[in-house]
Amino acid sequence: MSWRVATVVALRDQTATARTIVLDVVGWPGHDAGQHVDVRLTAPDGYSAVRSYSIASAADGQRIELAVEQLPDGEVSPYLAHDLVAGDLLEIRGPVGGWFVWRPEQTEPVQLVAGGSGVVPLLAMARSHAAVGSRAPIRLLYSVRDAGSVLYGSELDTLSRRDGGLEVTYAYTRVAPAGSLRPPGRVDVSLLAEATWPPVDEPTCYVCGPTAFVEVVADLLTAAGHDPGRVRTERFGPSGGIR
Amino acid sequence: MGIISRGFSGRRRAHDPDLPPGQYLTEDFPVLSAGPTPRIPPDEWEFAITTETGQVHRWDWPTFLALPSENVTVDLHCVTRWSKLGTSWEGVSLDTLVEDVETAADFALVHSYGGYTTNLPVEDLLDGKAWVAYRYDGDDLAPAHGGPARLLVPHLYLWKSAKWVRGITLSDVDEPGFWESAGYHNYGDPWREQRYWGE
Amino acid sequence: MSVDPLSFLDGNAAAGELRELFAVDLTAAVGQCAGCGHVAVIAEARLYVHAPGLVARCAGCDGVLFRLVKAPGRTWLDLRGLAYLQIATPDEADRPPTA
């Protein structure tokens, strides 16, 4: 599998520090929800840096969408989140990753649990689920610091309005919006019991976010009775991507 | 080489003619590790030199700290291309540690807590070229950088300066260590840019 | 075994590098640790990426499963920590339409 050239066709701010990048990739073979791409940047002196980003969009011809969070000390993220403009070219390799995927032929309940930017591949799953009109019950528990950190809030809202669509529960860890029923706090056993499909429903669970978040949530899910074989995980580095 | 990304330069990288080939200068101290950071309480720490005849010389933490130490300022060159100049360490010279060690062995295999290994010729550990260092930049060596103690062999690429060092086995046979058995150069001289096998 | 929270990712992060070497996605392959016998998908291995190479470790015992080192024009893949890999190879008629 080799590097392809992708053209930036659109950029959309998501939060104060994150934005969506829409790419057009000639010859894109399509992808499964949950897969990612590697992005390679090369400086004039030949120095190159590679980072991985989950695809946020469902399969859509030659179009793919990524989301990049700018890290204060990042090497690649400031360039992608800030300097990149429409018309620029990026080298990408992919789609890759065949384990952390949701495919339309899956009919069992789906439980998505996102920590911060871990929502990106899970959004692709929710979008894919809606695009094929899947009747599989689907829920998302989305843990964020505060309301201003929510990525793709309006897309999640739209998906939840669909009949039989995504049920979204937000868990705020630092500051909860006025009117919240729960005080701010991390995902714990009682929140899982309230907001996620119970083990008896045998959902396939997808947990994505920083390593520490994933370790805690995956342990909570298996301790609650979910079969470890039905809990799939993807850990993000501090870059907010898979590196 | 890939297509040039308009306006991308990466982290500021100063190329300095005094650096080994292919290296760039960094001001921070990147933490690289092949596994989880071992946490070794001082009362469990031990360093041992085992000779080719099976003789074992051991030091526990208090005994080790009681040895004469040196303060050295050295340059570090990592095979991942960063170099950090003028770093200050305090440690016990390998010359001190092998004073009472009887050996005719040519090769050393360095072992770390956590399982990491690296190999080098015995002569590259001697004559003021190597230390077991336990203080960096005026402080106790942090676990992320190899504390309680790490090997420091600055004339070779930094992967030879094994973090969390626990012992050295002397042998007549050269046994490749963790990275040397997976593509990295058996010797690793930054000035001859010996990064990989066959270079 | 204590967790250094920021120090590891998982096998998913090696998907791109492995896909350059193999015709199939290896992250969905099941592997057995040659050290402790733990069986798991490669995607769930603990992956250390801040190193002179990629190091995948067993989530059961932290033993090294594989090491991947890239040099100009060559890549080394040391697989001695894996007793076996079980890879899904669907019959042509059943092959799903994914990359």
Using the Cβ of B10 and the Cβ atoms of chain A, whether some distance falls under 8 Å is answered with yes
pLDDT band for position B2 (cuts 50, 70, 90): confident
Q: Does B90 map to a domain?
A: yes
Average pLDDT over every residue of A160-176? 95
When scoring B184, B185, B186, B193 by the number of chain C Cβ atoms within 10 A, the one with the most, hence best to mutate, is B184
A64 forms bridges with which residues in the sheet? Answer: A23
Judge if A116 and A231 occupy the same domain: yes
Report the amino acid identity of residue A74.
Answer: G
Q: Which of C8, C19, C41 sits opposite A99 (nearest CB)?
A: C41
Domain membership of residue A48 as a residue range: 4-96
Give me the pLDDT at residue A202, please.
Answer: 98
Q: What is the pLDDT of residues C36-84, one digit of tens each?
A: 999 999 999 999 999 999 999 999 999 999 999 999 999 999 999 999 9
Whether A241 shows a pLDDT value over 60: the answer reads: no
In a domain, B71, yes or no: yes
pLDDT in tens, B22-74: 999 999 999 999 999 999 999 999 999 999 999 999 999 999 999 999 999 99
A41 and chain B: CB distance < 8 Å anywhere? yes
CA atoms in the 13 A half-sphere facing the CB of C91: 2
- Only one residue has tokens 């360093």, namely B47
B8 touches chain A (CB under 8 A): yes
CA dist A235 and C59 (Å) reads: 13
- Sign of the C-alpha dihedral computed for residues A101, A104, A105 and A107 taken in this order: positive
Quote the number of domains for chain B: 1
Q: Do A41 and B8 touch (CB under 8 A)?
A: yes
A83 and A120: one domain?
Answer: no
Separation in Å, CA A158 to CA A20, A152, A161, C69: 17, 10, 5, 45
Q: Report the number of distinct structural domains present in chain A.
A: 2
On the question of pLDDT at A80 being above 90, the answer is yes
Taking residues C12-18, report their average pLDDT: 97
Q: Is residue A101 part of a domain?
A: no
Mean pLDDT of A51-58: 97
Q: Assess whether pLDDT exceeds 70 at residue A49.
A: yes
Same domain, A221 and A124: yes
- With respect to residue A51, please indicate whether it lies within any of the assigned structural domains: yes
Please check whether residues A131 and A76 belong to one and the same domain: no
Provide CB contacts within 8 A for B25, sequence distance 6+. B13, B14, B15, B16, B19, B82, B83, B84, B85
Is residue A205 located within the same domain as residue A158?
yes
Residues A170 and A210 in one domain: yes
C92–chain B nearest CA distance, Å: 35
Confidence of residue A112 (pLDDT cuts 50, 70, 90): very high
The CATH number for A47's domain is 2.40.30.10
B54 interface with A at CB cutoff 8 Å: no
Distance from CA of A179 to the nearest CA of C (A): 33
Per the document, the length of chain B is 199
Angle between helices A119-131 and A153-161 (to 10 degrees): 30
Both A84 and A154 in a single domain? no
Last residue within a domain, chosen from A96, A131, A163: A96
Task: Given the cut 0.90, state whether the ipTM is greater than it.
Answer: yes
Residues on chain B touching C8 (C-beta within 8 angstroms): 36
Q: Per the CB < 8 Å rule, is A97 touching C25?
A: yes
- Candidates B32, B35, B115; nearest CB to C52: B32
Lowest mean pLDDT among A35-44, A152-161, A230-239: A230-239
pLDDT tens, B82-102? 999 999 999 999 999 999 999
The DSSP secondary structure of A201-231, one letter per residue, reads G-PEEEEEEEHHHHHHHHHHHHHHT--GGGE
pLDDT given at position B8: 94
Q: Per residue in A119-154, pLDDT tens? A: 999 999 999 999 999 999 999 999 999 999 999 999
Residue B152 has pLDDT above 70, yes or no: yes
pLDDT at A105 over 60: yes
User: pLDDT confidence of C90, banded at 50, 70, 90?
Assistant: confident
Domain-located, residue B183: yes
Contacts of C78 in chain B (CB under 8 A): 181-182
Interval A1-24: pLDDT, tens: 789 999 999 999 999 999 999 999
Q: Measure the CA–CA gap between A106 and A110, rounded to whole angstroms.
A: 9
Residue B141 lies in a domain: yes
A115 with A232, same domain? yes
What mean pLDDT comes out for the span B74-80?
A: 97
**Are A10 and A34 in the same domain?**
yes
Tell me what pLDDT residue B14 has. 76
- Subunit contact C5:A238, Cβ cutoff 8 A: no
Nearest to B34 among C3, C48, C76 (CB): C48
Q: Out of B32, B36, B196, whose CB is closest to C51? A: B32
Cβ contact, residue pair C15, A36, below 8 Å: yes
Interface test mutation site (partner B, options A41, A48, A82, max chain B beta carbons within 10 A): A41
Domain spans in chain C, listed from the N-terminal domain onward = 9-94
Neighbors of chain A by Cβ distance (3+ pairs < 8 Å): B, C
pLDDT class of A94 with cuts at 50, 70, 90: very high
Instruction: Give the closest-approach CA distance of B3 to chain A in angstroms.
Output: 7
For the cut 80, the answer to whether the pLDDT of residue A240 exceeds it is no
Tokens 């291309």 -> residue: B81
Contact check, Cβ <8 Å, B9/A75: no
Q: What is the CATH number of the domain that holds A190?
A: 3.40.50.80
> Hey, of C6, C64, C82, which one would you mutate to test binding to chain B, going by the most B CBs within 10 A of its CB?
C64
Q: For C23-45, what is the mean pLDDT?
A: 97
Structure confidence by residue, pLDDT tens digits, B125-151: 999 999 999 999 999 999 999 999 999
Give the residue from A96, A131, A164 where a domain finishes. Answer: A96
Count of CB atoms situated within 10 Å of the CB of C70? 16
Residues A58, A116 within the same domain: no
pTM of the model: 0.94
Specify the CATH number for the domain of residue B136. Answer: 3.90.420.10
Whether B179 has a pLDDT exceeding 80, the answer reads yes
The yes-or-no verdict on residue C3 having pLDDT over 50 is: no
- Same domain, residue pair A120 and A226: yes
* B139 in a structural domain: yes
Those chains having 3 or more beta-carbon pairs within 8 angstroms of chain B are A, C
- Domain of B58? 46-192
Whether residue A203 is preceded by a cis peptide bond, meaning omega within 30 degrees of 0, is: no
A115 and A80 share one domain: no
Kindly indicate the confidence band of residue C1, based on its pLDDT and cuts at 50, 70 and 90. Answer: very low
Interface of C with B (CB under 8 A): 1-4, 7-8, 48, 50-53, 55, 57, 62, 64, 67, 69, 71, 74, 76, 78
Q: What is the pLDDT of residue C94?
A: 62
Angle at B78 between CA C54 and CA A51, to 5 degrees: 40
Q: What percent of chain C has pLDDT over 70?
A: 86
For the stretch A182-190, contacts whose Cβ atoms lie closer than 8 Å and that sit 24 or more positions apart, written own/partner, are A186/A143, A186/A216, A187/A113, A187/A115, A187/A141, A187/A143, A187/A213, A187/A216, A187/A217, A187/A220, A188/A220, A189/A220, A189/A223, A189/A224
Q: Do B2 and A48 touch (CB under 8 A)?
A: yes
Three-state secondary-structure class, residue A137: coil
Kindly list the residues from chain B whose CB atom is less than 8 angstroms away from the CB atom of residue C52. 32, 78-80, 159, 179, 184
